[in-house]
DNA sequence: GCCATCTAGTGGTCTATACCTCTAATTCGA
DNA sequence: TCGAATTAGAGGTATAGACCACTAGATGGC
């Protein structure tokens, strides 16, 4: 039962950032650093208070927040521990196809069907908060899992924001990774709806299924931190290979799940 | 800008329930009571502390928790207010068909197809944590919205737990309301999966659609506070009338959504 | 050898106080 | 009359100390 290692440097008393918040980041970084896995123990509140010259209440303000973030677990009479990476927690929320497949133990890849500029359909323009007829980038891809067709995907992106997207840039990789690596965009939240539809002849052919086979239609509108729409995606998933799961909570409508 | 009214009776100092928790429930009940809508102001922390004979820190412990529950909003320099009922929040999580339809502006009802005892299929017994062959209550219902078929639903319940379920008890009402009213059971969380399937002849006839039409298959396993399975439900929703939506969050995998 | 008791250390609750920043209304001067 | 300064009151941060309930290991009696 190892104890997690925290930096010895004192906190910055002069910073406008509150002390409890500094400590919170410190601990969060140490956990995410991963040198100390689940069930790893945190120094006791009294030890932390002495180490950083804080009162115990201030230390608690940091650790309590981390507990509600799901990074720590408290056990009365025993101590505070790094939370185990629960299956339903943390990892997800807003995941890309690539992440999703990896979590399912499958190897994701993609075949680009087309990448071109299109005038925004009125419904799409409305969703993306653009003027009707604005130029959009339409990325049409076949998503594969273990080299078998899994989904047929249409991604609409603002041309103004992504004027230089090329097939080379995309490769077979994750669009979300590209957002971050090339454009510095981090997605913060999304709205997603799920419907059941039947495969058209074209969809059936691409997905290697029969015409009229059931498909899950996922529509996702993803936002960045400034609440601007980054992409609007329509994905058609093969129902025989894909199932969407969520965990529902009674309390405050907080959900934990996976797509 | 009215101020929310709180009971004048003092908290129970002798109770094993912590004072901050008592205050928290008090405020939560007052908000849920609904006599005071959004943007209604809470008495200041100092006022609450004096009113209930608490220190301000204890009052904060209650209000801070309510903020993270989404019931309150704090505005520095101004005050603490009842949170607006955000569309994506609170209302849901684990909702019954009846609640779900009401939120969509539809009137829910139900037609009982059958209510009988069956031996548990092995998969179902496994899911419900019972011995294979245990007796289950199978409730088969057609769910209507505005008197039009919306879903075809199979609910499996433990016979041991619900030995006296009758059609009269059920009426056309909500099963979840019955759980609470008659058995004192409150659901706490559930695991739900969503697939796309095609309508069989029987399903098509009951739902008034064509054979082979697309359906959303929702499977839900609902648990009570003791982590015991209360029910296992399979619902077939008409894809032309029903769409499932969720809001995804990047952060800690906390989801907010609606089915 | 076994079981009850003790004890050190943990998180859980609570108090009383202090000073900070922020907001908005009031006051006061030009 | 208008704008700047004051001020009251809100939440935000932080302290030091107290006692409680719980856990688990150590102690001690039988």
What's the rounded mean pLDDT across residues B221-242?
89
Q: How far is the CA of B129 from the C1' of D12 (A)?
A: 48
* pLDDT tier for residue A252 given thresholds of 50, 70 and 90: very low
% chain A with pLDDT above 70: 91
Is B212 in Cβ contact with A249 (below 8 Å)? no
Beta-carbon separation of B244 and A195 below 8 A? yes
Q: Is the pLDDT of residue B39 over 70?
A: yes
**DSSP string across A226-256:** TS-EEEEEEEEEETTT--EEEEEESSSS-BE
Query: Mean pLDDT across the stretch B90-98?
Result: 65
Closest nucleotide to A60, Cα to C1': C11
Q: Which residues of B touch A94 (CB under 8 A)?
A: 248-250
Name the nucleotide with the smallest C1'–CA separation from A75: C11
- pLDDT over 70, % of chain B: 91
Q: How confident is the model at residue B256 (pLDDT cuts 50, 70, 90)?
A: very low
pLDDT for the residue numbered A66: 92
User: End-to-end distance of chain B based on CA atoms, in angstroms?
Assistant: 34
Q: Which of A192, A216, A248 sits opposite B189 (nearest CB)?
A: A248
Cβ partners under 8 Å of residue A204, min gap 6: A210, A211, A212, A213
Residue with the larger pLDDT of the pair A205 and A254: A205
Chosen from A86, A209, A214 to mutate, greatest number of chain B CBs within 10 A: A214
Whether the predicted pLDDT of B188 surpasses 90: no
Residue A91 has a pLDDT of 34
User: Is the pLDDT confidence value at B255 over 50?
Assistant: no
The pLDDT score that the predictor gives to residue B238 is 96
Q: Cβ of A18 under 8 Å from any chain B Cβ?
A: no
C26 C1' – A188 CA distance, angstroms? 43
Q: What are phi and psi of A180, to 5 degrees?
A: -75, -45
Rounded Cα gap, residues A40 and A18, in angstroms: 26
Q: Are A31 and A69 in contact (CB under 8 A)?
A: no
Do the strands A148-158 and A135-145 form a parallel or antiparallel pair, or are they unpaired? antiparallel
Q: Is the pLDDT of residue B210 over 70?
A: yes
Q: For chain B, what is the total number of helices (H) and then of strands (E)?
A: 8, 11
Which residue of A188, A193, A256 is in closest CB contact with B243? Answer: A193
Taking residues A221-241, what's their average pLDDT? 89
Residue located via tokens 């059931």: A214
Asked if the model's pLDDT at residue B191 lies above 50, the reply is yes
What's the confidence (pLDDT) of residue A93? 61
Which regions of chain B does DSSP assign to beta strands (E)? Answer: 41-42, 72-75, 79-82, 108-119, 135-145, 148-158, 187-198, 214-224, 229-238, 244-249, 256-258
pLDDT score of A114: 93
Backbone angles phi, psi at B88, to 5 degrees: -80, 0
Question: Is the model's pLDDT at A127 over the cut of 70?
Answer: yes
Residue range B148-180, pLDDT digits in tens: 999 999 999 988 888 888 888 777 678 888 887
Share the mean pLDDT of chain B: 85
Note the strand D nucleotides within 7 A of protein beta carbons: 9-18, 21-24
**What's the predicted TM-score (pTM) here?**
0.69
- For residue A69 the two structure tokens come to 């973030």
Of the listed ranges A134-143, B86-95, B108-117, the least confidently predicted one is B86-95
- The alpha-carbon gap from A106 to the nearest alpha carbon of chain B, in Å, equals 19
Cβ < 7 Å from nucleic strand C: A 42, 44-47, 56-57, 60, 74-80; B 18-21, 53-58, 61, 75-78
Contact flag A255-B252 (C-beta cutoff 8 Å): no
B70 and A246 within 8 Å at the Cβ level: the answer is no
Is a pLDDT exceeding 80 seen at residue A226? no
Average pLDDT over every residue of A180-198: 84
CA-nearest of A190, A192, A173, A189 to A181 is: A173
A56 touches strand D (CB under 7 A): yes
- On the 0-12 / 13-18 / 19+ scale of CB atoms within 10 A, B190 is buried
Give me the pLDDT at residue B190, please. 84
- In tens, the pLDDT along A151-160 reads 999 999 988 8
The segment with the largest mean pLDDT, out of A161-165, A209-213, B28-32, is A209-213
> Do B214 and A191 count as a contact with CB atoms less than 8 A apart?
no
Give mean pLDDT, residues B32-52: 87
């Amino acid at each position: 039962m190892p104890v997690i290692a925290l930096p010895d440097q004192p906190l910055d008393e002069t910073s406008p950032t509150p002390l409890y918040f500094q400590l919170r980041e410190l601990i969060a970084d140490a956990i995410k650093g991963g040198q100390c896995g689940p069930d790893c123990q945190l120094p006791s509140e009294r030890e932390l208070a002495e180490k950083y010259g804080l009162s115990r209440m201030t230390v608690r303000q940091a650790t309590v927040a981390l507990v509600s973030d799901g990074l720590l677990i408290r056990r009365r009479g025993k101590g505070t521990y790094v939370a185990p990476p629960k299956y339903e927690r943390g990892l997800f929320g807003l995941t890309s196809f690539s992440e999703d497949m990896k979590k399912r133990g499958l190897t994701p890849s993609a075949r680009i069907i087309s990448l071109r500029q299109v005038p925004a359909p009125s419904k799409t323009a409305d969703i993306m908060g653009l003027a009707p007829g604005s130029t959009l980038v339409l990325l049409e891809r076949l998503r594969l899992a273990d080299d078998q067709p899994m989904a047929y995907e249409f991604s609409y992106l603002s041309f103004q924001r992504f004027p230089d997207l090329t097939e080379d840039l995309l490769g077979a990789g994750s669009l979300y990774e590209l957002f971050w690596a090339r454009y510095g965009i981090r997605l913060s939240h999304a709205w997603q709806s799920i419907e059941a539809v039947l495969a058209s002849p074209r969809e059936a052919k691409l997905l290697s299924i029969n015409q009229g086979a059931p498909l899950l239609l996922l529509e996702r509108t993803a936002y960045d931190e400034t609440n601007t729409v980054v992409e609007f995606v329509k994905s058609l998933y093969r129902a025989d290979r894909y199932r969407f799961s969520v965990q529902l909570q009674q309390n405050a409508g907080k959900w934990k799940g996976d797509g």
